Amino acid sequence: MPKPGDTFTTTLKRAHLEWGSHRHTNTRGTVYGEGYLHIPRQEAMSLDIYNSNCSGANIIYTCNSADGFLQNASLKASGCSTAGDIYAKQFQGNGNLQLLGQWFRHVNVQVGDQVKITWINQTEIEIELI
C-alpha cells in the first residue's frame, strides 16, 4: 500500500485525454469527455497499487488537485494489462469516467504533459500538472 510522500509522474497520451472517443474497441459507444491517469506497471508494483482482482486491497482514493479544481473527488485504481492481474493500470473517476476529463480541460492539458501523483496518506492523493 502506498505511504505518505510516495509519488510518481505519468505522461499523458491522446488515449488518456480522449478515453471515451479515441478507442480501438467497439465494446461500447463513443462518450466524449472521459479521461484517465495511466499508472506505469513498475510504479503499480513498487507502490502496491492494486485493482479489484486483489482481494481486500484499497482501490478507492480521495483525490485533490493542486490547483483546487478537484476537492475530495473519488478515484478508482482499476484495469490490468493481462486478465486477472492484480496491479492497476489507471486511475479513473469512481462512478464518473468524465471526472478526470473535466480536470484535464480545466488545466488545459495537452498530449505530452505530465501529471504528478503524490500520496498524502494511504487513501488520499494529490494530482498536479507539472
Q: Say how many domains are in the chain.
A: 1
For residue 129, report the phi and psi dihedrals to the nearest 5 degrees.
-75, 125
State the average pLDDT for the chain.
90
Query: Is 102 a residue whose pLDDT tops 70?
Result: yes
Distances (CA, A) of 90 to 94, 97, 107: 12, 12, 19
121 lies in some domain = yes
Q: Are 89 and 39 in contact (CB under 8 A)?
A: yes
11 lies in some domain = yes
Q: Are 111 and 46 in contact (CB under 8 A)?
A: no
C-alpha span between 114 and 122 (Å, rounded): 23
31 lies in some domain = yes
Query: Is 69 a residue whose pLDDT tops 90?
Result: yes
Q: Which pLDDT score, from 0 to 100, does residue 91 have?
A: 97
When pLDDT is averaged across residues 96-109 and rounded to a whole number, the result is 94
1 lies in some domain = no
Share of the chain above pLDDT 90, in %: 76
52 lies in some domain = yes
Cβ neighbours of residue 5 closer than 8 Å, sequence gap 6 or more = 118, 119
The residue segments making up the domain with residue 83 are: 7-129
pLDDT tens-digit map of 5-60: 999 999 998 886 775 545 555 565 555 568 999 999 999 999 999 999 999 999 99
For residue 101, report the phi and psi dihedrals to the nearest 5 degrees.
-60, -40
2 lies in some domain = no
Angle at 70 between CA 51 and CA 2, to 5 degrees: 35
58 lies in some domain = yes
Q: Which pLDDT score, from 0 to 100, does residue 14 have?
A: 86
Q: Which pLDDT score, from 0 to 100, does residue 19 have?
A: 59
- The whole-model pTM stands at 0.86
> At 118, which CATH number?
2.40.330.10
Q: Which pLDDT score, from 0 to 100, does residue 15 have?
A: 81
What is the residue-wise DSSP string for 12-36? --HHHHTTTTS-S--SS---TT---
Reading the block at residue 25, the C-alpha cell is 474497441
